[in-house]
Every structure is written in structure tokens, then in C-alpha cells.
Amino acid sequence: MRPFQAFLLLAFATSVAPAQTVGVWLTTDDQQTLMQPRNPLVFSSAAGAAPTIVIADTSAYQTVEGFGASMTDSAAYLLNEKVPASALPSVLQSLFDHSAGIGVSFLRNPMGASDITRYDYSYDDQPAGGTDPALAGFSIAHDQVDIIPMLLAAKAINPQIKMLGTPWSPPGWMKSGASMIGGSLLPAAYTPFSNYLIAYLQAYANAGVPVDYLTLQNEPLNVPSDYPGESMPATDQLNIMKTVVLPALRASGLSTRLLVYDHNWDQPSYPQTVLADPSIAGASQVAGVAWHWYAGTPGAMTTLYNQYPHLGEYVTEASGGTWIADEVKTDFETIIQCLRNWARSYVKWSLALDENRGPHTGGCGDCSGLISVNEDTGAVSNMIDYYTLGHFSKFILPGAVRVWSSNAPGIITAAFLNPDRMTRVLVVYNDSAAAQTFQVSWNGASFSNTLPALAGATYQWTAPPTALGCRAGVRAQTAALPLPIPKPCPPYVVPARQQIQASSYNNVSNLETESTSDTAGGFDLGFSSDGSWAEYRNIEFSSGVSAVTARVASGGSGGTLEFHVGSPAGSLIARALLPVTGGWQTWTTVSTPVSHVQGLNSVYVVFRAGPGTNGIANLNWFQFQ
């Protein structure tokens, strides 16, 4: 556990009250059951033989800030002008209320036109050939018609909503080509652009919608030909942020913080270039990195987190759409994997679209919103994205902390402790093509459940303060809460003879998770280099083991897989050959002898390169025998 997570030491682990119940909500892959409540389950002290998911409140990771979508021009127009006024309150409740709806708590606001808009516009449009470096023509009048009224209504329902502002393009007169479509920001326009951003933040704050985060450019490595956008290389973003935007933000007195990048996982070198400047990485006005899901793997966020652990990782755009063959599977896999890779937010694309997946001015004509609004009748229907996001957004509240949970064969998970530090939330997805029965082990008790093939479920339970039985750390007693200090909690235990998924690590260095096509699905651990390692805590060697089996794949040069205890350089207990299998998803099982080891140990799996330079191997699981 990292130092900044020490606040969780104020939370107690709890013992399970007799017959404590667990709420269950289920979505099936055929979409016949959509986030429907099921019969509650009950914790017991009996342990079954099914694959086990272990939850450890005492191992904490990131704080979650919210889940949501973008209040695009089209979404606000559809809500404000097409949904009947009599129906609008219930529609907004279904989106933003945690009890009556899915509790959307993070909204992205395009600053001017995007592709999901009715026409192109900025906050300072000028006639052809005109310029306005003093921003005399700046106005958010366009947004005051639909966007701001809908944002105010959303925040009235859910005051915890976080706001992110992102320009797809500054006004055309600031750019090469003098158009919102294409081009790049002129160096002479750096200061006007910075003032433009500050003017937007001030105008929105004055309108009652303060903006929490700001990025400088949507998808700076993508220059679309049919909707607003521009090129902004990493060196340009670094220069603009350092020389004009950060000084202007400090001078403004605004609390808005910057996120760098705002593009796909496949180019982590971009935020690395920007953050390599210590004046940016160390600035209090810089909150972290914004990511999109359209290329690369979520493991890139762990790479950046390990380099800059004081900064946050935010998924700011992840659209659903007709190009996705199985939205249920894709969403559960992706959101869980993002949360297991330090994501503080997960933001879909447009909050609402019409029956033709518009209005849009180019760009995405096959995206899906959380809801669909019929432009003729105003009728609203929930898209599948509403339910898949809802499995997280409805139950995992802003301020929740992700805690460690293991995956199991065919099962992927993410677990959370809500802000009351009593309510637990576990999201489980059956990533296999067959029904899976599993048990959840938490704090010495367990419950069992069966999920249909490719189905996802959210589990929620609350341990009341009166059930406190052990402590995760030291908590000061106060007159208001004169609770006794209980005995220390025993560590959770993972039996060495249980198949341990590589993605169940507690800590990792120079490795990334990715979805695997191996049997039962789930996530493998890849992108290895010489010396890459993953840590697995509290592995219980209660009786002697003689061998370890590992599921591996290599489309590179292969190498060796070492098993150490205590640290990456600790006692070596096993070394397995990593053969070249002919592909990064071409899997084989290898086995090697294990030296004498007993008791409770932290096991470190370390990758060592072979003679070539084409990458080492991927690891799906290992098991001591």
C-alpha cells in the first residue's frame, strides 16, 4: 500500500454480522435482464469448493471521482427541446439520481462544437478574415440556451457531479487554415487561446456551473476532416501549458485543474513528454492524465501512475456504438480493467442521441448514447450503455476507494469501499462462455453465486459500526464516536494451490494487463521487458509444494519466468522457461520444480529476457502444486 493511501487506515475492517445480506443486480448478455435486482444472498462462515474471489479492505488503491458521459450540444438540445417538459424531470432523475436512476456523476462539456452537434460554433466566431485577440466578442450565449440549463438541472439532482471542459477546436481565427476544422494553433494565438480558456471557466462559474477539470485539446493526435479538431503535438502542449495556460490559471484564482493529453492509451509517450517537465508534473494545478479507449490497453494508465503516483488517471471518452459486436461484454471488461488500472473516472461519449444516432456534423454516425430521444415524439429509451455503466455509477459513489480483489478463472472483478466506509460494492463479470459458480471471501466469511455465461452483476453489502471486530489501522477515539480499538485484522489468505490469475497482482512494474483470448477469457499480463515484475501478497504455502505451473504465450523471443519471495530480488524458488509459442495469444502451459517454501509469503513473478530483443512473453495464470 502506497503512502498516499494512508488515509484508509482510518477505516476499520469489520466482522460479518449474522445472516448479513448482499444485494444483487444482474445484466445478461442477451439483454433480457438489465440491471435487475435478484434475490439477496447471505454471508456464512462455511467455505465452498468453487473458485474464490478474495476481497481485502486493507489494500487500497485510487479514489473514484465519478462515472458519466458528455453533455454535448446534441444531448442538451434533445433533453431541453425534444423531451416533453412533463417527462423531463423523471428522465433527468433516471440519469443523475443514485436512488431513482444510475447516478451519473462526471460530465464532460465540449467547449464549442464537436462532431455530436447541430452545427459548428465557438465562443468567439468572427467573419472570414477577422480576428479578435482581445476576445471582445467572447460569449457563451449558445450554451445558455440548452447546455447550461441541463447542467444546472443535473447538478441540482446530483451536486457531486464533476465537470470537465474540453475544446475540440479554438476559434478558427486562432489557427493555421483559419478554420475550426483541421490545422493547428498559431504561436501568435497562444495567449489569446489561454485567455479564451480562462474566459470560459469564469463564464461557466458565473452561470453556476464551475468546471473542475480542463484539457487543452480533444484527441490532439487526431485531425478530423469533417468536424472540429486540430493537431497539438506533445511538445506544443507542453509549451502552451507551461508558458501561458498554467500562469493564467494561477493568476485567475480559479480552482480548475488541468489534465494532460486526452487521447488514446496507445501513445503514452505523449503524456510522458508533457509530464517530463517538473514544472508541469509538480504543479498543483495539474491533476493527471486524460485517456480515451479507442486504441491501446488500459494498462498504459498503470505505467503512468507508477511514474507519477501523485497524479490521477481519468478515462474521459469511451463511446459505445454499432461497431461493437457485444456491448455488454466489452463494457464490463473495459470498465473493470480501467478501474483495476487506477482510473478515477469512466466517461462515455454523448449523454443522449436521437433515433438516428445524431444530430452530428460528421465524425461519429454510429455512436450510442446513454439514452435515445426520438426527435418527433420526444420518447426516451435507455440504451444498453445506460445499464452497463449503471452497474458501476449507481453503486460506486464519488469518494469510494477501490480495494484489492482477486480475479478467478473465467471471472473478473473490481471492489470498492464507499465514502461511508461501511458499504462494500463488488462488480463481477463472467468472461466465459459457460455459467460460472464462484464464492466471494471477505473478512473471514463468504457467499456463493452463479452467473450465466457472459453476464455481469453488482453486489452490495453494508457492515454496520456495531459489527466492528478488527482494525485495519489505528483510529483515534473521539467523544462523538467512542468505539473501542479492536484487535488487528488477520491478513487475507490466497492458497498457493489455487489457480492465481496474473491480473490479480497487488503491485506491478513495467507490465500491463490486456484482454486475453485464452480459455475462459479474463486479462493476461503482458508488455513485459527484462526485469518486469508483479507482486502477489499473502500466498499461503500451508503444505509443501513441488512445482509451479504457468500459462504463457510468446510471439517474441521468449525468456524465463522467475518466482521470488519477499521482493523481486528475494529468494528464488522457481524458474520456468518461457517458450516461443508463435503468437502473443497462442497459449501453452509450462511447469517447473519449486524449492522449499512455507508459510505466508509475498510472491514476486519476474520476467527475464531471452537472447532476442522481440519481447518476452505474456502470463495468464500460475498455480503451485
Kindly write down the DSSP assignment for every residue of 115-153, as one continuous string. SSSSS---SS---TT---TT-TT---TTTTTTHHHHHHH
First to last CA, the chain: 29
**Beta-sheet pairing, 257-264 with 213-214:** parallel
**Mean pLDDT, 10 residues at a time, over the chain (625 residues)?**
34 43 97 98 81 91 98 98 98 98 98 97 97 98 98 98 98 98 98 98 98 98 97 98 98 98 98 98 98 97 97 98 97 98 98 97 95 98 98 98 96 96 96 96 92 98 57 36 47 90 97 94 96 96 91 96 97 97 98 94 96 88 96
The DSSP code sequence of 213-244 is EE-S-SSTT---SSSSEEE--HHHHHHHIIII
- Residue 204 host element (H or E): helix 190-206
Phi, psi values for residue 354, rounded to 5°: -90, -175
Q: CA-to-CA distance for 141 and 123, rounded, in angstroms?
A: 8
Give the DSSP H or E segment for 69.
strand 66-70
Give 250's strand partners: none
C-alpha–C-alpha distance, residues 70 and 79, integer Å: 13
pLDDT at 611: 80
DSSP states of 149-163: HHHHHHHHH-TT-EE
The whole-angstrom distance between residue 95's C-alpha and the CA centroid of its chain comes to 19
How far is 35 from 24, CA to CA, in rounded Å?
Answer: 9
Do the Cβ atoms of 123 and 171 come closer than 8 Å?
yes
Amino acid type, 534: A
**DSSP-assigned letters across all residues of 258-301:** EEEEEEETT-THHHHHHHTSHHHHT-TTEEEEEEESSSS-THHH
Note whether 124 and 197 are within 8 A (CB): no
State the pLDDT at residue 489. Answer: 57
Cβ proximity of 438 and 51 under 8 Å: yes
Calculate the alpha carbon distances from 384 to 33, 114, 350, 527 in Å. Answer: 11, 23, 14, 32
Across-strand partners of 453? none
In the DSSP assignment, the letter for residue 408 is B
Cell 461501511, located at residue: 422
Between helix 327-339 and helix 384-393 the angle, nearest 10°, is 30
Cα dist. 68→102, 107, 323, 392, 414 in Å?
Answer: 9, 6, 21, 10, 18
Q: Is 184 helix (H, G, I), strand (E, B) or coil?
A: strand
pLDDT of residue 483: 38
CB 348 within 8 A of CB 294: no
Question: Helix, strand or coil for residue 462?
Answer: strand
CA distances from 91 to 80, 95, 211, 443 (A): 11, 6, 24, 39
Q: Is 599 helix (H, G, I), strand (E, B) or coil?
A: strand
CB 554 within 8 A of CB 588: no
Question: Any bridge partners for residue 27, and if so which?
Answer: 456
Other Cβ atoms less than 10 A from the Cβ of 625: the count is 11
* Cα separation, 175 vs 578, whole angstroms: 52
Q: Give me the residue label for grid cell 441540482.
A: 156
| Residue 490: predicted pLDDT | 63
DSSP SS3 for 203:
helix
- Report how far residue 248's alpha carbon sits from residue 199's, in angstroms, rounded to the nearest whole number: 11
Q: How many CB atoms within 10 Å of residue 132?
A: 16
Helices assigned H by DSSP within 436-571: none
Cα–chain center distance at 423 = 20
Q: Do the strands 507-509 and 487-488 form a parallel or antiparallel pair, or are they unpaired?
A: unpaired
* Pairing verdict, β 106-110 and 66-70: parallel
**Residue where the block lists cell 445506460:** 386
Cα separation, 585 vs 519, in Å, equals: 10
d(CA 549, CA 624): 6
Residue 607, pLDDT score: 97
Q: Taking the CA atoms of the chain, what radius of gyration do you get in angstroms?
A: 25
Q: Quote the Cα angle for 451-491-40, to 5°.
A: 30
Smallest CA-to-CA distance from 75 within 181, 149, 157 is with 149
Rounded to whole angstroms, how far apart are CA atoms 392 and 397? 9
Instruction: For residues 95 and 85, give the distance between their C-alpha atoms in angstroms, rounded to a whole number.
Output: 16
Quick one: CA dihedral 306, 308, 310, 313, positive or negative? negative
| Domains of the chain in sequence order | 3-62+411-492 (2.60.40.1180), 66-393 (3.20.20.80), 495-624 (2.60.120.260)
